[in-house]
Amino acid sequence: MQHRFSLKGEDVDVALVRKNGGLSYQGHSVTVDARGRLKLTLADGSSCTAHAAKVGDVWWVHMQGRTFALERIEPGASSQDHGDGLVAPMPGKILETLVKAGDTVEAGQPMMVLEAMKMEHRIVAAHAGTVVAVHFQSGDQVNQGAVLLELEDTN
Amino acid sequence: MQHRFSLKGEDVDVALVRKNGGLSYQGHSVTVDARGRLKLTLADGSSCTAHAAKVGDVWWVHMQGRTFALERIEPGASSQDHGDGLVAPMPGKILETLVKAGDTVEAGQPMMVLEAMKMEHRIVAAHAGTVVAVHFQSGDQVNQGAVLLELEDTN
Amino acid sequence: MEKVLVANRGEIACRVLRACREAGIQTVAICAANDAGSMFPELADEVVMLQGDTIAETYLNQSQLLEAARSTGAQAIHPGFGFLSERADFAQAVLDAGLIWIGPSPHAIEKMGDKMTARKTMKAAGVPVIPGEEIELEDEAAALSALEEAAQRVGYPLLLKASSGGGGKGMRAVTEPSGFAEAAAGARREAIAAFGDGRIYIERLLTGSKHIEIQIIADRTGHTVHLGERECSVQRRHQKVFEEAPGPTMTPAIREAMGEAAVAAAKAVDYEGAGTVEFLLAPNGEFFFLEMNTRIQVEHPVTEMVTGVDIVREQLRIAAGEPMSCGTVQMRGHAIEVRLYAEDPANGFLPSIGPLAVFCPPEGPGIRLDTGVREGDDVTPNYDPMLAKLIVWAPSRVEALERMRRALDEFVVLGTTTNVAFLRDLCDNEDVVSGSTTTTTIDDTWPQGWSPVEHEALTQAALLSAAAGETLGLHRPSRSGPSSADGPSSPFSTLSRRFP
Amino acid sequence: MEKVLVANRGEIACRVLRACREAGIQTVAICAANDAGSMFPELADEVVMLQGDTIAETYLNQSQLLEAARSTGAQAIHPGFGFLSERADFAQAVLDAGLIWIGPSPHAIEKMGDKMTARKTMKAAGVPVIPGEEIELEDEAAALSALEEAAQRVGYPLLLKASSGGGGKGMRAVTEPSGFAEAAAGARREAIAAFGDGRIYIERLLTGSKHIEIQIIADRTGHTVHLGERECSVQRRHQKVFEEAPGPTMTPAIREAMGEAAVAAAKAVDYEGAGTVEFLLAPNGEFFFLEMNTRIQVEHPVTEMVTGVDIVREQLRIAAGEPMSCGTVQMRGHAIEVRLYAEDPANGFLPSIGPLAVFCPPEGPGIRLDTGVREGDDVTPNYDPMLAKLIVWAPSRVEALERMRRALDEFVVLGTTTNVAFLRDLCDNEDVVSGSTTTTTIDDTWPQGWSPVEHEALTQAALLSAAAGETLGLHRPSRSGPSSADGPSSPFSTLSRRFP
């Protein structure tokens, strides 16, 4: 019973141990009631209830006023496998493209402006590099998940 | 697309007709959106949303502040098939049995007293008849659905 | 007072646990095995599971509760209502264990909890009481025959009440001598089962009267104030279902007189904490003391809504030795509470059970919901069938009724029969609309019992909905999950908002 | 006024539709195709589906809305906030069509909606205004160069605002000349996109000030009253997120002076209905007129909670020609509203989308939820990412904050990233706790952006929960249906309750 989750870009392996009719990990344990509700006992002895729902590959967990979104990584895969394609996080319209293929960019440099949720969003380079391709132009509608442009690391 | 429901002890056959992308019956029509929500247009032109959930064989439907519980009858069956066994509507404890096998009872005559939900409930004869069997005695715990006693119609 | 044990379950446990959390007080819930999936233990910092199957073995088991307080280090016990809330012996045991009892002293509970003593106290305070007698005999036969004799002295119609009762349990109205014997036996049996105490009190049944009660609060600094009245006349079989504040026909003069009487009653027993003094208000303006409830009341929210006082929070303050925080109390607007029960109003209000497949309360301005259940819970026969209290507030009574109608129309409960449609009908009842309800309004309006008005088109539409659901397989689980199969958005780290 | 068309969507449409239902008024909702599954059309008696894909083609399309009113026989239009609510031309078109406009006259909207005219009006009323200028030029290049010049006169730091804007759209703060050109171009583009109007207003940015606004109501009988103030200083990028009434540092003297100024402003334009006059309150007690919003405001509930006035209901009354029902207004207790957004506060408040797989708001005393969504809905990029307004009331500010903390801790939203944790952190923020917030509190507190405090044990417990869910298959649909497979109880016709 080992599962891998992506937490803030890092992969975490969670190995569960069966214990007293529940499952435990790092000294914390959980039981599940007939309705699928999670009752937790933390390592410090405190207890609480968690709400959990899976959407796509992501487990959403709420406990003690906090919400966690934990992406489950299929066995063998890694969350580090994402390429350097810059992906539209939501559907929208391209307002401006500020770079073209072959341009070199600094970390933080704006490359594209996307309109979505009635707001303008600026897509900036996460690191210095060379623009390999720009897939959309001003006025184009883009779907969520569309690769907007591709950036190659300078190193 | 014909379904049979039990409504106040009577069987009603509902024959659906496909119409304009929805289903209709008696001049009323319904469409279902991607989330399974029912949008109704009544014969008088008014429209509303219904909430529906099936529990066991019963469809629960809420619309315009009213709630309906409609038992679906399997094709070929009838809701009139219930025998004359008097069934415990909820788990509880028998407090008193007021009749014994062989007694004749009048309509409305109390036959048994059941304690449940912190209250006493009196089981009365729905019609005049003869008590055929009494299956429980004072102090017995009964489960929901248990046949408490059997009554034969005098006719 | 840093940690409180809440010796109750369901809706009122939730109410108290939340008040403690807001006050920064740690909480302990006690929980029977068949309540493990309920909402209230989730609202507590710690949960102690109780041993035993019956209520007597769990929520009424004083030694288990005291042990739970001891083992968790709780310094105080809040009893809620029902269960042990009006048991002077339990209050005393709590004090003897060195704990704080969040409620009045055992002495006050005893004086007021016992209906005969309470009557004497009120008489001494100059408040008229209803003619009546109490029968204390333990022996079944002797008690029944003494009751029969007392009934003849009190006169018919009369009311049988469990001396240590409440909530309509062990209570029966008897209109003529022929029905007395069976009613007395049943009342006694129910009283013993529910309260372990077979004492029965008989009083004259005053028809055409209103049930009006005064909320009082008293702290240890010598302050005792009343928070105005609630009218709870609308009752079905002595169970309140519709409560409001202020009373629609109340006059400032009667309010002042009743308020004074209530405060005097509280002072007479050195009352501490929150309590309620109940009166019958006759059509001629005379009022009679009924009883005092020495605990928080089910219908306390309507008073909270019109006065702005958080009564449970004040209970915590007072128990901790602080003065009450409410100064001069002013009523504003109008509040109505209805009690949502799992019961079938079209069938003699028989309690119902089942899953809460859908439980979707109304939302928006002026609406408060106090509940101990949520969608997915099962309604079981183990406990009282009250699912929730729906409370509305509006600037005027007319608007409050309008809001209640809207709220009830929006309230969707599927899977278990409830009284929502009955409550909705109540809002259109002539006496309710005019405010001229009495304790017999429900019986007078529906002498043959209530049943919903037929509406052929809606019934057909419901059949259509069910048939469509069946045809399209809406009940299959695959349709009930989250609507979107999409994963969440990819990490947003490459995006930032553009302005300012 | 028997039938009202609500020319809006989402949460405010729900608010108005419910108010109409309570008032016994028939309702018409308008609805874009991508809103067909939303909650608000379900609350209307009739729904008119709008043609078109964009907001301009649907909710901003005046002729479609007027045609919807005509075809359904609606006699009045309520514009809500945003969209066409402050468009004088639309108000005029509504009146020209022989309908009632639920709001002030087109003249008043124009006078107050236009920031320059409003400034002149307020100057004439003797209320100080913030130094600033407006640029009206249509030509892009000319406008940008005129803006640049004006900026030099006004001085830095300054604020760019869309003249016909609101809600932070088209607004940018510029601290030094080097950032001006890009900011001005962006503000203008956004203003044109959002409001079809590229006029930009520049004003001096007053740091360290509080945002205080006065709610006013005026009816046709000549009554104009104010309902006290709201403080809305806590803003992230000019978007209010935390609003309260009364203002925690407000004095009776300032309230009276501001209230008088607000009433004077309303009277100066023969104002009718509900409106809000916004002020900046400097640390020295001086206040400056900011603008007047000639419509219902997002944060109106906090005023409703402390004054007991149902502002939307009053709008309906006033539009129908009746006098307002609220007499002498008195504030009681303290109310706080937070805006729950689908956004990622740890990532520059980037709007998020996704399904509301779980949407479980808090319950209990003193809590109000105004929302347009429910569990199972999808958050899409089509509209504003505000999911709900959570409003609490309590007798004191301290208790209101305690209640808000409790309510936010209980609020469960799964499937879409929200700002709940950020709002919860706000409740512990030193300035929020002391009431000394200013319009720059958020930026000052989290200059590098907000991120949640790490809590290793909870993170591990969350991982455990997810892993357990995966192992036990909790995500499989068969687990999410109603918990009981039992059918309902058999018919109860043979049973009746025993007492009384």
Angle at D47 between CA D41 and CA D53, to 5 degrees: 80
Q: Is D325 on the interface with C (CB under 8 A)?
A: yes
Q: Is C497 on the interface with A (CB under 8 A)?
A: yes
Q: Give the distance from residue C353's alpha carbon to the nearest chain A alpha carbon, in angstroms.
A: 17
Query: D487, B58: Cβ pair inside 8 Å?
Result: yes
Could you read off the pLDDT of A57-110 as tens digits, one per residue? 899 999 999 999 999 988 766 544 444 557 776 778 888 888 988 898 887 788
**Closest in A35, A119, A123 to C494, CB measured:** A123
Query: Rounded to whole angstroms, how far apart are CA atoms C275 and C219?
Result: 11
* Closest chain D residue by Cα to residue C381: D489
Could you read off the pLDDT of D209-237 as tens digits, one per residue? 999 999 999 999 989 999 999 999 999 88
Query: C497, A121: Cβ pair inside 8 Å?
Result: yes
| Interval D306-330 mean pLDDT | 94
Query: Rounded to whole angstroms, how far apart are CA atoms C357 and C369?
Result: 19
Summary mean pLDDT of chain B: 83
* Closest chain C residue by Cα to residue A107: C494
Query: A122, C497: Cβ pair inside 8 Å?
Result: yes
* Closest chain A residue by Cα to residue C33: A33
C97 and C14 within one domain = yes
- Whether C477 is in a domain gets the answer no
CB pairs under 8 A between A and C: 65
* Closest chain C residue by Cα to residue B44: C457
D67 and D158 within one domain = no
CATH number reported for the structural domain that contains residue C232 in this entry:
3.30.470.20
Query: Rounded to whole angstroms, how far apart are CA atoms A71 and A104?
Result: 33
Query: D495, B123: Cβ pair inside 8 Å?
Result: yes
C387 and C423 within one domain = yes
Report the percent of chain D where pLDDT is more than 90: 68
D401 and D339 within one domain = yes
Cβ-based burial of A10 (10 A; exposed 0-12, middle 13-18, buried ≥19): exposed
3-state secondary structure of B3: strand
Chain C positions in Cβ-Cβ contact with residue D15 (cut-off 8 Å) = 364-365
C192 and C60 within one domain = no
* Domain final position from D183, D204, D225: D204
**Closest in A55, A120, A124 to C499, CB measured:** A120
Residues present in chain A in total: 155
**Closest in D37, D487, D493 to B33, CB measured:** D37
Query: Rounded to whole angstroms, how far apart are CA atoms C27 and C16?
Result: 9
Chain D positions in Cβ-Cβ contact with residue A91 (cut-off 8 Å) = 381
- Whether C435 is in a domain gets the answer yes
| Most confident option among A96-110, C171-185, D70-84 | D70-84
* Domain final position from C204, C231, C263: C204
Summary mean pLDDT of chain A: 83
- The answer to whether residue D47 scores a pLDDT higher than 90 is yes
- Whether C479 is in a domain gets the answer no
Structure tokens at A91: 């559907």
Hey, which residues 208-237 in chain D have their CB within 8 Å of chain C? 237
Q: Is C492 on the interface with A (CB under 8 A)?
A: yes
- Whether C463 is in a domain gets the answer no
- The answer to whether residue C318 scores a pLDDT higher than 90 is yes
D290 and D167 within one domain = no
Q: How confident is the model at residue B153, as a pLDDT?
A: 76
CATH number reported for the structural domain that contains residue C72 in this entry:
3.40.50.20
- Whether D421 is in a domain gets the answer yes
- The answer to whether residue D48 scores a pLDDT higher than 60 is yes
**Do D and C make contact, counting contact as 3+ CB pairs within 8 angstroms?**
yes
| Interval C51-57 mean pLDDT | 94
- The answer to whether residue D480 scores a pLDDT higher than 60 is no
**Do B and A make contact, counting contact as 3+ CB pairs within 8 angstroms?**
no
Q: Is D488 on the interface with B (CB under 8 A)?
A: yes
D338 and D239 within one domain = yes
Q: How confident is the model at residue B123, as a pLDDT?
A: 78
Hey, which residues 393-422 in chain C have their CB within 8 Å of chain B? 408-410, 412-415, 417-418, 420-421
**Closest in B5, B29, B62 to C412, CB measured:** B62
- Residue ranges of domains in chain A, CATH in brackets: 2-72 (no CATH), 85-153 (2.40.50.100)
- Whether C465 is in a domain gets the answer no
C76 neighbors C5 (Cβ within 8 angstroms): yes
D160 and D32 within one domain = no
Whole-model pTM over 0.95: no
D381 and D257 within one domain = yes
β-sheet with D495-497: strand ranges across: B141-142, B92-97, B110-116, B119-124, D495-497
- The answer to whether residue D58 scores a pLDDT higher than 80 is yes
Residue whose structure tokens are 């069987």: B11
- DSSP strand pairing (D287-293 vs C495-497): unpaired
HSE-CB at A121 with a 13 A cutoff on CA atoms is 27
Query: C488, A58: Cβ pair inside 8 Å?
Result: yes
Neighbouring C-beta atoms of residue D165, cutoff 10 Å: 24
Q: How confident is the model at residue C457, as a pLDDT?
A: 94
Query: C14, D304: Cβ pair inside 8 Å?
Result: no
Query: Sign (positive/negative) of CA torsion C255, C256, C262, C266?
Result: positive
3-state secondary structure of C332: coil
Could you read off the pLDDT of C442-484 as tens digits, one per residue? 999 999 999 999 899 999 999 999 999 999 888 764 433 333 3
Query: B47, D47: Cβ pair inside 8 Å?
Result: yes
Report the percent of chain D where pLDDT is more than 70: 94
* Residue type at position A112: M
Nearest to C74 by CA among C17, C27, C24: C27
- DSSP strand pairing (D46-50 vs D26-32): parallel
The beta-carbon contacts of D191-196 under 8 Å, at least 24 apart in sequence, are D191/D162, D191/D163, D191/D164, D191/D165, D193/A115, D194/A118, D194/D162, D194/D165, D194/D169, D194/D170, D195/D162, D195/D164, D195/D165, D195/D169, D195/D170, D196/D56, D196/D60
Q: Show the low-confidence residues of chain B (pLDDT under 70).
A: 76-85, 89, 117-119, 154-155
Chain C positions in Cβ-Cβ contact with residue B23 (cut-off 8 Å) = 464, 467-468, 471
Query: Rounded to whole angstroms, how far apart are CA atoms D163 and D202?
Result: 9
Nearest to C390 by CA among C375, C371, C409: C371
Report the percent of chain A where pLDDT is more than 90: 31
Which residues are within 8 A (CB) of D242 and not within 5 positions of it... i.e. 6 or more apart?
A: D232, D234, D336, D337, D338, D339, D423, D426, D432, D437
Chain B positions in Cβ-Cβ contact with residue D498 (cut-off 8 Å) = 113, 119-122
The separation between the first and the last C-alpha atoms of chain D, rounded to the nearest angstrom, is 49
D319 and D294 within one domain = yes
Of residues C9, C15, C87, C295, which has the active-site annotation? Answer: C295
> What values do phi and psi take at B66, rounded to 5?
-115, 150
- Residues C211, C217, C223, C227: what is their CA dihedral angle, to the nearest 10 degrees? -50
* Closest chain D residue by Cα to residue A1: D471
- Whether D110 is in a domain gets the answer no
Nearest to C240 by CA among C200, C201, C288, C290: C290
Q: How confident is the model at residue A91, as a pLDDT?
A: 76
Neighbouring C-beta atoms of residue A141, cutoff 10 Å: 10
Q: How confident is the model at residue C492, as a pLDDT?
A: 27
* Residue type at position B78: S
Chain B positions in Cβ-Cβ contact with residue C186 (cut-off 8 Å) = 120
The subunits that touch chain D, with at least 3 C-beta pairs less than 8 Å apart, are: A, B, C
Report the percent of chain A where pLDDT is more than 70: 88
Query: B25, C467: Cβ pair inside 8 Å?
Result: yes
> What values do phi and psi take at D353, rounded to 5?
-130, 170
D158 and D66 within one domain = no
Query: Rounded to whole angstroms, how far apart are CA atoms C380 and B128?
Result: 32
**Closest in A16, A23, A63 to D458, CB measured:** A63
Chain C positions in Cβ-Cβ contact with residue B63 (cut-off 8 Å) = 458, 461-462, 465
Bigger pLDDT: B11 vs C237: B11
3-state secondary structure of D367: strand
Which residues are within 8 A (CB) of C29 and not within 5 positions of it... i.e. 6 or more apart?
A: C5, C6, C13, C17, C40, C41, C43, C44, C46, C47, C48
C316 and C174 within one domain = no
| Residue ranges of chain A whose CB lies within 8 Å of a chain C CB | 9, 33-35, 37, 46-49, 53, 55-58, 69, 71, 82, 86-87, 89-90, 113-114, 119-126, 144-145
ipTM over 0.85: no
- DSSP strand pairing (B58-63 vs D378-379): unpaired
* Domain final position from D102, D120, D155: D102
D412 neighbors D395 (Cβ within 8 angstroms): no
* Closest chain B residue by Cα to residue C475: B54
Range of the domain at C89: 3-102
CATH number reported for the structural domain that contains residue D198 in this entry:
3.30.1490.20
Q: Is D483 on the interface with B (CB under 8 A)?
A: no
Domains: count for chain D: 3
C274 neighbors C319 (Cβ within 8 angstroms): no
The subunits that touch chain A, with at least 3 C-beta pairs less than 8 Å apart, are: C, D
Q: Is C313 a known active-site residue?
A: no
* Closest chain D residue by Cα to residue A89: D352
**Which residues of D are identified as catalytic?**
295
- Whether C259 is in a domain gets the answer yes
